Amino acid sequence: MHTRLILLTLFLFLFTGGCATQDYRASKIRVQHPNWDSTTVRKVSNRLVEPGMTPDMVRAAVGLPDAISRTDGTEIWQYQVFVGDYQPKKETVYTVYFQNGAVTRTTGNRERLKTLTW
């Protein structure tokens, strides 16, 4: 019984700690971008990138890209991580495509980004 109480307390502590971080992120984004609606602030603070978002929203959600390229009116942002032990190489794990200043689609796995802090 004592072990269950400790585990429950630990779980609640970790759960509320994550919520506090999420609330902090949302409030910081709200201050930096007062013209964004609450739905957008919530999505960005949850690090979601969806079609229609602007480059500012993507930067706030997942940070600056590691590489940017442009072809035929499409701007492509690539997010990369180092993989391998002996000779690590950069691997693109998440890509965001823009046309006319708005996200059209994303590919890859956003969860593999290791630089998602604060």
Query: How far apart are alpha carbons 84 and 55 in whole angstroms?
Result: 30
Structural domain range at position 83: 50-113
Q: Are residues 42 and 56 in the same domain?
A: no
**pLDDT band with cut points at 50, 70 and 90 for residue 53:** very high
92: Cβ contacts below 8 Å, ≥ 6 apart: 66, 67, 78, 79, 80, 108
Is 118 within a domain?
no
What is the tens place of the pLDDT at every residue in 4-45?
655 555 554 555 444 556 789 899 999 999 999 999 999 999
DSSP class of residue 50 equals: -
What was the pLDDT predicted at 18?
A: 47
- Evaluate whether 94 touches 109 at the Cβ level (below 8 Å): yes
Query: How far apart are alpha carbons 104 and 82 in whole angstroms?
Result: 26
**pLDDT band with cut points at 50, 70 and 90 for residue 90:** confident
Q: Are residues 76 and 32 in the same domain?
A: no
